[in-house]
C-alpha cells in the first residue's frame, strides 16, 4: 500500500465526529504539528493547530467543524487511507506465473 505524502490523494474514514466526511476523497497538502501556525489553503488566514498529534491539512469538497472555511480540513493520519501511487501491473504477471506454472 502506498504511504501518505504531500500531493497524494486519500479517502477519509473512521471519523466519529463529522461523520458526513467519511468516504470523501481529499488531496494531502502538508503536515502540521501541535501548536504550529499555518496558512489556510482557502484564504491564507493564519490558523494554529490545536490537535494533540501531527495531522494532514487536506483540500477537497468538505468543511471541517474545526474551521469555518469551505474546501479544506485537518485529519489525523489514522483517518486517511492513501488511494494513489499503487501500481498493480505486477498482479497480472503474478497471475500469469500461477496459470503457466
Summarize pLDDT for 14-43 with one digit per residue, the tens.
Answer: 999 889 999 999 999 999 999 999 999 888
User: Shortest CA distance to 81 belongs to which of 36, 21, 14?
Assistant: 14
User: What's the pLDDT score for residue 57?
Assistant: 95
Contact 28, 6 (CB under 8 A): yes
User: What's the pLDDT score for residue 62?
Assistant: 81
User: What's the pLDDT score for residue 61?
Assistant: 87
Answer yes or no: is pLDDT of 2 > 70: no
User: What's the pLDDT score for residue 65?
Assistant: 57
User: What's the pLDDT score for residue 43?
Assistant: 87
Summarize pLDDT for 35-86 with one digit per residue, the tens.
Answer: 999 999 888 899 999 989 999 999 998 865 555 788 898 999 999 999 976 5
Amino acid at each position: 500500500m502506498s504511504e501518505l505524502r504531500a500531493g497524494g490523494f486519500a479517502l477519509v474514514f473512521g471519523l466519529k465526529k463529522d461523520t458526513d466526511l467519511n468516504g470523501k476523497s481529499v488531496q494531502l497538502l502538508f503536515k502540521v504539528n501541535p501548536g504550529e501556525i499555518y496558512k489556510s489553503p482557502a484564504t491564507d488566514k493564519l490558523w494554529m493547530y490545536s490537535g494533540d498529534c501531527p495531522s494532514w491539512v487536506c483540500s477537497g469538497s468538505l468543511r471541517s467543524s474545526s474551521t469555518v472555511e469551505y474546501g479544506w480540513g485537518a485529519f489525523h493520519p489514522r483517518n486517511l487511507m492513501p488511494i494513489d501511487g499503487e501500481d498493480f501491473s505486477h498482479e497480472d504477471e503474478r497471475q500469469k506465473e500461477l496459470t503457466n506454472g
